[in-house]
C-alpha cells in the first residue's frame, strides 16, 4: 500500500488579525481553494501556535484550509497572555471566525490539545461540524496531566525528566504543575523563562517515537517556550476549565452522529493510547486507527498517512 505524503507547501491567500475581545487579537489565515470544503485546524499545546506544515494535511484543490493561532500564542497578541484565556474563550473565538468567514459548516481537525478543543467545540456547536478528524487524543483529565507532568512518561524517559524535575525543590514535587505554575506566573521574567525552557524541553523530548534534538532546541527557544509553557500550565492548573474531570466523555452523545476519525500512535508517550481507546468505546461510530510504529507527533509517517487518508475520505 502506498503511504500518503503531506501535500506540497502552500502559501495563504488571506492573512489577517481578528479582534476577538478588548484584549485579544488572533492571527487568522486561509489557504487552498476559497470555494472548497471548509476545514478549521486546531493546533496543540495549548499555546503551541500553528505551523506551515499544518496547511499540508488537506488537498488544497478541494479544501478551504483555515488556521489560527489561539489566544496568546504564535502571532496572536498579547503574547503569552493568560487573562481571558480559557477553553470556552477559544470555543467562542472559533464561532467568531466561522461567522466572520461566512462558513455554514466545517470539518474540525485537531491533534493533542487540538483534539480537546475540537471535542469541546463540537459538543457546544454540533450543528456546525461536518466531520471530526482527531489525532493524539487528549481530554485533559487528571490522570492524563499527571501522566506527562508527574509520574508516567517519566518511567520511560527518566533521563529527560530529570532536567524538568530538578528545577523544582523536593518539598514541592508532589504537585509539579502547581510548582511550575508558581514560577511561570512569577513577577520576575527570568524566573518565568527558566521554568518555561525546562517545561517545554521536557515535552519536546517525548513527542515522537524517535528522538528529535532539533525539536527540543526549537521548543526551548525563549519566545516559543514562554507562551507554550505559561499557557499550557495555566490550562492544566485550572483543569482545562471543565466542570468535571470526564466532561468530554460525559457529553459524547451530543456528537455521536458526526462522522469521526480517531488517529493515535501506539507508543504515544505524551497522551497515552488508552485515551483514544476510551473515546472509541464511548463513540463506537467513529473510526479508530492505531498507528503501530508512531508516538505523538503529527510529523511521523504513519500518523501523516492516516490523517491524510481521513481528509481524502471526507473531501
Report residue 52 as a C-alpha cell. 506551515
> What is the H or E stretch that residue 153 is in?
helix 153-156
In this structure, is the dihedral angle defined by the CA atoms of residues 185, 177, 200 and 302, taken in order, positive or negative? negative
Query: Omega into 46 within 30° of 0, i.e. cis?
Result: yes
DSSP per-residue letters across 156-202 = H-HHHHHHHHTTS-GGGGGGHHHHHHHHHT-SSHHHHHHHHHHHHHH
Count of other CB atoms within 10 angstroms of residue 243:
7
Write out the catalytic residue numbers: 112, 268, 296
| Rg of the chain, C-alpha, whole Å | 18
Report residue 104 as a C-alpha cell. 455554514
Amino acid at each position: 500500500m502506498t503511504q500518503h505524503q503531506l501535500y506540497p507547501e502552500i502559501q495563504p491567500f488571506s492573512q489577517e488579525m481578528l479582534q476577538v475581545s478588548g484584549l485579544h487579537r488572533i492571527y487568522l489565515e486561509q489557504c487552498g481553494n476559497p470555494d472548497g470544503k471548509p476545514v478549521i485546524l486546531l493546533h496543540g499545546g495549548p499555546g503551541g501556535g500553528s505551523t506551515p506544515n499544518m496547511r499540508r494535511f488537506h488537498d488544497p484543490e478541494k479544501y478551504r484550509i483555515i488556521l489560527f493561532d489561539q489566544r496568546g500564542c504564535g502571532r496572536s497578541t498579547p503574547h503569552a497572555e493568560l487573562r481571558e484565556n480559557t477553553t470556552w474563550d477559544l470555543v467562542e473565538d472559533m464561532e467568531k471566525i466561522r461567522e466572520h468567514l461566512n462558513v455554514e459548516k466545517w470539518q474540525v481537525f485537531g491533534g493533542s490539545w487540538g483534539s480537546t478543543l475540537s471535542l469541546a467545540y463540537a459538543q457546544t456547536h454540533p450543528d456546525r461540524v461536518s466531520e471530526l478528524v482527531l489525532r493524539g487524543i487528549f481530554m485533559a483529565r487528571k490522570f492524563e496531566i499527571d501522566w506527562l507532568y508527574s509520574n508516567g512518561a517519566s518511567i520511560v524517559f527518566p533521563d529527560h525528566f530529570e532536567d524538568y524535575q530538578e528545577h523544582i525543590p523536593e518539598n514541592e514535587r508532589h504537585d509539579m504543575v502547581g510548582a511550575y505554575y508558581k514560577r511561570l506566573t512569577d513577577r520576575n521574567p527570568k524566573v518565568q523563562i527558566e521554568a518555561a525552557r525546562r517545561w517545554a524541553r521536557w515535552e519536546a523530548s517525548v513527542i515522537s517515537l524517535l528522538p528529535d534534538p532539533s525539536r527540543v532546541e526549537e521548543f526551548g527557544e525563549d519566545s516559543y517556550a514562554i507562551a507554550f509553557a505559561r499557557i499550557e500550565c495555566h490550562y492544566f492548573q485550572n483543569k482545562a476549565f471543565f466542570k468535571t474531570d470526564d466532561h468530554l466523555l460525559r457529553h459524547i452523545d451530543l456528537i455521536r452522529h458526526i462522522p469521526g476519525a480517531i488517529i493515535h500512535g501506539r507508543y504515544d508517550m505524551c497522551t497515552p493510547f488508552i485515551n483514544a481507546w476510551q473515546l472509541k468505546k464511548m463513540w463506537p461510530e467513529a473510526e479508530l486507527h492505531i498507528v503501530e510504529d508512531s508516538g505523538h507527533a503529527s510529523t511521523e509517517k504513519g500518523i501523516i498517512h492516516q490523517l491524510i487518508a481521513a481528509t481524502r475520505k471526507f473531501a
